[in-house]
Chains A and B, each alone.
Chain A
Amino acid sequence: DIQMTQSPSSVSASVGDRVSITCRASQGIRSWLVWYQQKPGKAPKLLIYAASSLQSGVPSRFSGSGSGTDFTLTISSLQPEDLATYYCQQANSFPYTFGQGTKLEIK
């Protein structure tokens, strides 16, 4: 299986801050990487697919980068509604695997 490791596990930031979350794959996955946002009690929501493509309807403050084994999700200017847990997932090969999640808190 491909292991996905996110860092940090949790982050606290202020409104307006730039926030970055990283995801590392245990082997190369080209650009087969997606980011989800999950708010408490809700289903996950797709933010970024194919490592850097913004899903329709997602605010442009979200962006993704990387390829191979190292990927980054960046929120350019944190908003209160961004309080959530963020997950990366590889879709390079079965079994698909997720990172352990990064909990984002607002200071």
Chain B
Amino acid sequence: SAVISQKPSRDICQRGTSLTIQCQVDSQVTMMFWYRQQPGQSLTLIATANQGSEATYESGFVIDKFPISRPNLTFSTLTVSNMSPEDSSIYLCSVQPGEETQYFGPGTRLLVL
């Protein structure tokens, strides 16, 4: 298994500002992902965080709004830029240490006022 931590665990932000979320894993993993879970909804993939290259974004998500860094195999950041109330959500980091498993971090609960 993999132990994943995220910071901050929650935040309340003003519209127009940006927040950077950190994800730390206790072991090296190749595959790392960022998901969003809006209130009462299931999880939606934002992007795959690639080490050493630009993240791969899903349809509807763009780098200018959600820049991602992946400087090494144990760490990644997701920035939510120029926030609006619609960005209020839980943001989850996820890793796939092996073919048969994928684990999620505890999530970052974001409220934008």
A and B together in one complex: no
